[in-house]
Structure 1
Amino acid sequence: MTALMRSASLTHYADLAESVGLVPHEMLAAVGLSRTCFDSTELRIPAASVMRLMELSGEMSGEESFGLRLSVTRRLSSFGVVGMLARDEPTLRQALDTLTRYLYLHNESLTTRIHEYGEVTVIEQLFLPSVGAGRQSVELALGALYHTLCLALGKEWQPRSVSFMHPPPAHLSWHRSILGSNLLFSQDYNGIALSTSDMDAPLHFADPAMRQQTRQLVRDDLSATAMSFRDEVEQLITALLPTGRCSAEQVALQLGVDRRTVHRRLSVQGTTFIQLLSEIREEQAQRLMAFGDRRLTDIAGLLGFSSLSAFSRWRAGRSEAK
């Protein structure tokens, strides 16, 4: 199933593209997108095409921070109805819960997970491996999250850290000017760490009366679109792999069903849990190895293997199958 996202993701793309010497309509054509994407924010377009557009833009312009620079234009309104709902929640925690719950209405390929570790909370972002999200797409998404947090916590707020799985760029000037100095690269996740106390900060712009009206207005939108069961399983596999606890049983537990239901519903959609697990591992392995700065033992752990030898046997088996 093709993961889709709103064409609002291309807002201000043309302006930035032109500023770095690109021709916006030609860039759209190169990835198979119509120029009508610039005329409406509500078109549903393939997420993989948008990811490729971002990477190609960075490559052809020579601007390593293309995605990050585009993120500066992002606001809660960029998320459409999801942003409308989050904007009037009383606290940052509730706003993030709303964004996390309904993010698929804006972008089916991206999911957000919140992990609390005592005084530190990590907001992690994960893309479906099938869409091929690279440096530009990751930095666009994390930059948008950073600006959302700044909107809630004030312009002077700084995160404990902003972590990227990819290596650092040759020059960090844009990253430091936009995200501050607490930057970490070649990490095990893409996300932002903040103080847990920040999570309960009140949103000064929240309007309880407006929240009720908005929920009523968008109720049909929220119920009309839902993620496929396969997409939900893919997102859970991606999230659980680094923990070493990725199994059909764990996925079933997260979904609130039993293991047989997982197998049965995936079968209806023409796939199996093992097939999805292998596909995601292969896509993740290719991406992590392409970074060029990871040891195989580290990659093995991120893919849920207990040892390098188990990872090597799996790779050998995949090669023979091809």
Structure 2
Amino acid sequence: MKKNLQHSENIEDILARIQLKYGFCTIDEELYRELSELSVYLNVDLYSWFLNFLDQEKINAPASRILLSHFQHSDHTPILMLVQLLHLLDQEIQEDAIGLKIGSYLLAKYGGVLGNLCLSSENLGEVFARFQRYYQLMFEGFRMQVYINDTHILISWDLIKKMSDVFAGRRIGRVFVDLCVASLFTIVSGLFNHQYSIYSQVSLMGQEPIDPLFYQQFFRCPVSFNADFPAVTIPLTMVSLLINVGSEKLKLLVTMRLEAEMNMHPVLMIDRFLHELQKILLYALHDNRPNINYVAEKLALSRANLQRKLQERSLSFSELLDKTRLKLAKMYLEHNNLPMTEIAWLLAFSDQTAFSRSFKRWTGLTPIEYRKLLVK
């Protein structure tokens, strides 16, 4: 589990040093102000993704690598910082369609639990259903709209619509939009080893680029420009396209993990600290390390500071851990194909007996009794 970017070294100081040493400028003040006001985050392994691009393309880009290194311990990157990084890369590399090229290096594994769910889906229709529901766990603050008619699926992004005025006339807007559309294309087509042309039409904001043919070759379909908002069209016949079927149990566990994260999402929780804490608790349980020292370390806090923050909210660590375990336990118990021993393991208990004892303390029922009530 990585830390939130806000706990790392001051990014503004890093950008100032890069500007002084290499002469590259940051985004303009108006765009900076607009992006600063957006509660939008990228919840992917940005460091591995962009480093993969630079290394595979054998691009030196020392200034960009300096900034990128400060994303190494973060899986929660504000959109402002993503745009700053893209702006720096665009200046340093100076290649057309740089957003497409970076997007082509996004692997499902960099998308965390959502990426794993895509890998375990049965067909393309299931992938898009999962993406529509859980997309904001990868791109927090974004929503992906999916519209279906008799022949096609149309996908668009609501935030980019809202940002169209902000990005108007700015090259970085094209880079950002290209990255978003190319990333989805890369993840989805990668599920089929890039054997199929997934899109039938792509519409992009901004003027036609110098080499529009490159865009058509990349997406393997017609591409239009000067659109009001980016959108992609997929033939409805593609939804039944089979993926190598993953483990049903993996699919179940990943889905439940996503549901747990959705239930703790900041859209539903005003307190950002508690959201981060509960998110880390999920990872701590997964890593079989549900103790206060481990969680404090991941929050970049001392044990005493973590306890103080909890006390300010009239909470204790053990109370929050119990609530998280109980919520997950009830979710797991709804699925009869998950044995008690595995549920105990998923909740980081030493054995089934310890799990049963705790569950009875929480609810007055044993897990077996609770599961029987669900069947009635």
| TM-score (norm. length: structure 2) | 0.52
- Paired residue secondary structure (1:80): helix
By how many angstroms is 1:218 displaced? 4.8
- Residue number in structure 1 paired with 2:126: 94
1:200 aligns with 2:240: yes
Q: Deviation digits for residues 178-216 of structure 1, max 9, x if unmatched?
A: 222422111233122121121232322333222113234
The answer to whether the 8 Å contact 2:121/2:246 transfers is yes
Write the letter of the residue equivalent to 1:55.
Answer: H
Alignment match of 1:134 (pick from 173, 195, 203): 173
Write the letter of the residue equivalent to 1:188.
Answer: D
By how many angstroms is 1:56 displaced? 3.5
By how many angstroms is 1:167 displaced? 1.8
Give structure 2 stretches of 5+ with no counterpart: 1-37, 271-376
1:45 aligns with 2:82: no
Change (3 A) 1:229 1:138: farther
Alignment match of 2:227 (pick from 158, 169, 187): 187
Change (3 A) 1:14 1:150: closer
Range 64-73 or range 84-93, more displaced? 84-93
The answer to whether the 8 Å contact 2:64/2:92 transfers is no
Alignment match of 2:69 (pick from 35, 40, 45): 35
Write the letter of the residue equivalent to 1:71.
Answer: G
Change (3 A) 1:7 1:201: closer
By how many angstroms is 1:69 displaced? 0.6
- Residue number in structure 2 paired with 1:314: none
- Residue number in structure 1 paired with 2:157: 125
- Residue number in structure 1 paired with 2:42: 5
In the alignment, the residues of structure 2 paired with residue 193 and residue 215 of structure 1 have an alpha-carbon distance, to the nearest angstrom, of 26
Write the letter of the residue equivalent to 2:177.
Answer: V
In the alignment, the residues of structure 2 paired with residue 12 and residue 154 of structure 1 have an alpha-carbon distance, to the nearest angstrom, of 18
1:169 aligns with 2:203: no
- Paired residue secondary structure (2:144): strand
Q: RMSD of aligned C-alpha atoms?
A: 2.9
In the alignment, the residues of structure 2 paired with residue 167 and residue 73 of structure 1 have an alpha-carbon distance, to the nearest angstrom, of 25
Alignment match of 1:209 (pick from 237, 249, 256): 249
Range 173-182 or range 105-114, more displaced? 173-182
The answer to whether the 8 Å contact 2:124/2:238 transfers is yes
Change (3 A) 1:154 1:122: farther
Count of aligned residue pairs for this structure pair: 223
By how many angstroms is 1:15 displaced? 5.3
In the alignment, the residues of structure 2 paired with residue 124 and residue 157 of structure 1 have an alpha-carbon distance, to the nearest angstrom, of 21
Q: Deviation digits for residues 215-272 of structure 1, max 9, x if unmatched?
A: 3455543322232699xxxxxxxxxxxxxxxxxxxxxxxxxxxxxxxxxxxxxxxxxx
Give structure 1 stretches of 5+ with no counterpart: 29-33, 231-322
Change (3 A) 1:221 1:229: closer
Computing the radius of gyration over CA atoms, which structure comes out larger, 1 or 2? 2
Between the aligned residues of both structures, percent identity stands at 13
| TM-score (norm. length: structure 1) | 0.60
In the alignment, the residues of structure 2 paired with residue 188 and residue 225 of structure 1 have an alpha-carbon distance, to the nearest angstrom, of 30
Write the letter of the residue equivalent to 2:93.
Answer: S
